[in-house]
């Protein structure tokens, strides 16, 4: 699973950082978390294909999370996308998409693809290209949602030698066991190891640290949590319904996640390493994301590289 951080700034973009947008890529399929201003330009400067986006998950209706959406949807149409696209998010999203698209496109032009808007209240579960997706309520002073994406579990490994010892021949019978069928007295569980859990990633959008996040992201492989402020400005974080890096780390520790990636960091903090260090003092497996970084997530851990393309 690859995580592309296309925009990591808080509310205001800077010369170095765009507003909120994270792409999750599995194979050729892409799912977006949020779509702030400038997201499509960031996508074009990365290895992510906007024509491979299968769904867009919006956390809340603040501009730094949605102002890039109309332009991206229009570009897909101009590029002759045919595949329907579903955009998920809180109440108000449908009116936003309908009004912006209707006011900015030719009334007589026929849309080349269908845009489906699914408004959520929190607690819904659905699937996108094999991923199971669950949304949950967060605390941002307005309707706001977080999301958890999970890959399906993979079948366990077939013990080929044991299967041969039990009289199974290579060919159709071995394939039947792999597909979960018994062959004579040999059951799949006799020769196939336990299933391998799929990878999981959670995204909070903007939020105060809250119990609903801890409950819903428990045990995930990667938690992407906002960290607008450092702990020296905890009062500002509380007043504006945001989190500090230390608070995000406490959420990660309580939830028992494997890795924490901080994003939505105020441009007042030029030194991302200092932001990460504050969180690492509480939760060591912490990263502070930069624009155009890809985090490759495997069972063995995380690797990071810059993916900016000329």
Q: Give the active site residues.
A: 64
User: Beta strand pairing status for 200-203 and 222-226?
Assistant: parallel
Neighbours of 211 (CB within 10 A): 10
Nearest Cα residue to 47 out of 293, 310, 309: 309
- Cβ–Cβ under 8 Å, residues 61 and 30: no
Q: In angstroms, rounded to a whole number, what is the distance separating the alpha carbons of residues 35 and 93?
A: 12
Q: In angstroms, rounded to a whole number, what is the distance separating the alpha carbons of residues 140 and 151?
A: 28
CA distances from 295 to 24, 97, 269 (A): 10, 30, 21
DSSP structure string for 127-143: EETTEEEEEEE--SSSS
Torsions phi, psi for 40 (to 5 deg) = -70, -35
Q: In angstroms, rounded to a whole number, what is the distance separating the alpha carbons of residues 289 and 273?
A: 10
């Amino acid at each position: 699973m690859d995580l592309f951080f296309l925009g990591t700034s808080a509310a205001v973009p800077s010369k170095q950082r765009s507003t909120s947008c994270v792409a999750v890529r599995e194979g050729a399929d892409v799912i977006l978390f949020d779509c702030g201003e400038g997201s499509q330009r960031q996508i074009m400067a990365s290895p992510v294909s906007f024509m491979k986006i299968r769904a867009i998950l919006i956390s809340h209706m603040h501009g730094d999370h949605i102002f890039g959406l109309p332009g991206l949807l229009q570009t897909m149409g101009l590029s002759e996308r045919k595949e329907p696209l579903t955009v998920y998010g809180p109440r108000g999203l449908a009116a936003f998409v309908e009004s912006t698209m209707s006011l900015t496109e030719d009334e007589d032009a026929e849309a080349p693809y269908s845009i489906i808007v699914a408004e959520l209240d929190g607690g819904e579960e659905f699937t996108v290209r094999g991923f199971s997706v669950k949304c949950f309520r967060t605390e941002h002073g307005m309707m706001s949602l977080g999301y958890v994406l999970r890959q399906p579990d993979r079948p366990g490994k077939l013990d080929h030698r044991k299967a041969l010892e039990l009289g199974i021949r290579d060919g159709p019978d071995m394939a039947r066991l792999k597909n979960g069928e018994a062959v004579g007295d040999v059951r799949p569980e006799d020769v196939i190891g336990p299933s391998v859990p799929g990878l999981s990633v959670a995204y909070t959008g903007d939020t105060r640290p809250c119990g609903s996040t801890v409950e819903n992201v428990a045990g995930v492989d990667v938690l992407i949590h906002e960290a607008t402020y450092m702990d020296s400005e905890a009062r500002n974080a509380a007043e504006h319904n945001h989190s500090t890096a230390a608070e995000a780390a406490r959420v990660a520790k309580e939830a028992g996640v494997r890795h924490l990636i901080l994003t939505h960091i105020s441009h007042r903090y030029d030194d991302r390493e200092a932001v990460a260090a504050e969180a690492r003092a509480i939760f060591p497996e912490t990263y502070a994301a930069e624009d155009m970084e890809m985090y490759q997530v495997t069972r063995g851990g995380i690797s990071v590289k810059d993916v900016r393309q000329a």
